[in-house]
Every structure is written in C-alpha cells, then in structure tokens.
Amino acid sequence: MVIRKRKPASEVHIYVSLTGSLWMRNICSVTMIVLCLSSLLLVIRVCQSVEVDYFDFGATMVQTQKPTGEFLIDYSGNELFHVDLDSKQVVWTLPGLEKKTSFDVQNALQNMNVGKFNLDTLMKRTNNTPATIVIPRVRVYPEHPVVLGEPNTLICSVTNIFPPVMNMTWLKNGAKIDRGVTETLFLPWQDHSFFKFIYLAFIPTKNEIYSCEVEHWGLDEPKRTFWEPEVPSAQSETTETIVCALGLSVGIIGIIAGVVLLMKGMKHNTEQRMRENY
C-alpha cells in the first residue's frame, strides 16, 4: 500500500481487543477489554499494597485497511508469538518456545471472526464514526556501539501510531534497501496506540548515510529520519596528535629539569661536606 498524503479519517475504522492479566504477589487478577473507538471497559478487583511481577495479554486487531488484522501474544512487553493470518500458521518470536508449548491457530481465527463482527456492529451503532488519526514519532539508533567495519543492526522505532496503517522503508544514500530488513507487527501500547520496529543488518563504513522513511496518514508527506556513523574528523585527529606531542614534550622537559636540579643538589651537598671536613 502506498500512503503519500493524509487520508480522510472517515476511511479508517478499527477494533482492538486486549485480554490479559496482571500477576501480582497478592494474587489479584485484572481483565481488560479495550475498544479503540473511544470506549473502555475495565473490570478489576482491588487489592492494597500489591506488586506486579509481570503482565501478559493476547491482542486481536481488526480494521478496514491493510493490515486487516493481527493476533499476537505478549509477555511483559515482549512478543512471544503471532499468527500469520494468510498462511494460518503460528510464528514463534521467542526462539525455542515452540518446544515448550503449543497454540491452536483456530483460537486465533475465531477471535478474528469475533473482532470482525464487533467492528461491523460498532460501525453501525456509531454511524461509521472514524477513529482519530495521530502523528507518529520516529527514532533511529544502532543496537550496539558502532565500530567501523563490524556488523551491527540499525533500529527504526516508530511510536504513537494510530491507526496502524503505515509503510516503513530503509534507504542507504537515498537508495531503497531490501536485503537484511526485518520488521515486527504493530504492537499495542497502554494508551491504545501502537508501536512498530523495523531492523536493518548492516556493516557501518565511512561516508554512508542511512534513513528510515515512514509513510502514515498522520503525516502530510513521507518523513525521513537520518543516521550516519560518527567518525572522528581529520581536524580532531590532528588536534589530538598535537596535544599528545605537547604533552610528551612537557614531560621530557620536566624530566630533564628534574635531573638537572637533582645533579645540582648532589653537587651542592658534596661541596658542603668537603668544606665541613676541612
């Protein structure tokens, strides 16, 4: 899908259901259902002085634009797995988890059917009231400290996404890159918005500029966020060389001065002892 200009809000309708639980030391449970058409139902049993150990949830998203749906399971902010709705297969995000547990894809497909039904019902009840479009925030940074010539990963993080309809592209010196690119699903956030990551495996070298281009209906035009390796300039290297040379010179002068003073002191002491003896 190509998104080149702001889309009329009336064309975006979305239904999101988050069902999960907070696991606390005092064994209190929370069940939450979120409908991202400005309605929220929260059922909670209150406990005093509780401490949250972790939060897990399953997310079902259905909307009238592509991607038309997503289903994923999250644990403490980390995706465990999601269901590829085209191939109808489980995609395990956490390596090795498939050896410890299993998931019936039919459960996800049933949730998607329920979501489509609920979305259609909500659209009729609200007279097709659209969801509100917001402006996404973009940040680009490396996964590890940058060393020229050593493999690394660039991360393009986009937050405050709503609706979850967006294109993300990596560019190197202005040219599109496809090789070494991976990305996540749209991941739900606490404020009912979404966030998403796109990764680029690369080897940093001099004179290369990378950019992450984001197309979203909240932007009047595609937004590019630039990143390039920070390489010390020739001027700074020369300055460092001069400073080191000056420091070395001062050190040598200090040593010479110390030796001269030491020799003068020894000569003075010798002359004094000879006068005392005679």
Look over the chain and give the mean of its residue pLDDT values, rounded to a whole number.
76
Whether pLDDT at 243 is above 80: no
Whether pLDDT at 56 is above 80: no
What is the per-residue pLDDT for 28?
A: 30
Domain boundaries, the chain: 9-125, 137-227
138 close to 146: Cβ distance less than 8 angstroms: no
Stronger pLDDT, 99 or 169, i.e. the higher one: 169
CATH number, domain 9-125, options 3.40.50.300, 3.10.320.10, 3.50.50.60, 3.40.50.970: 3.10.320.10
Question: pLDDT of 67-94, one tens digit each?
Answer: 888 898 887 767 888 899 889 999 998 8
6-15, 32-41, 44-53, 135-144, range with greatest mean pLDDT = 135-144
Residues 226, 48: Cα–Cα separation, whole Å: 47
- Sequence-distant (6+) residues with CB within 8 A of 10 are 128, 130
Stronger pLDDT, 206 or 39, i.e. the higher one: 206
- Sequence-distant (6+) residues with CB within 8 A of 172 are 202, 208, 209, 210
pTM: 0.65
Question: pLDDT of 211-235, one tens digit each?
Answer: 999 999 999 999 999 999 876 554 4
* Residue range 137-227, CATH number: 2.60.40.10
Question: pLDDT of 166-208, one tens digit each?
Answer: 999 999 999 999 999 999 999 888 788 899 999 999 999 988 9
Stronger pLDDT, 114 or 272, i.e. the higher one: 114
Residues 80, 109: Cα–Cα separation, whole Å: 18
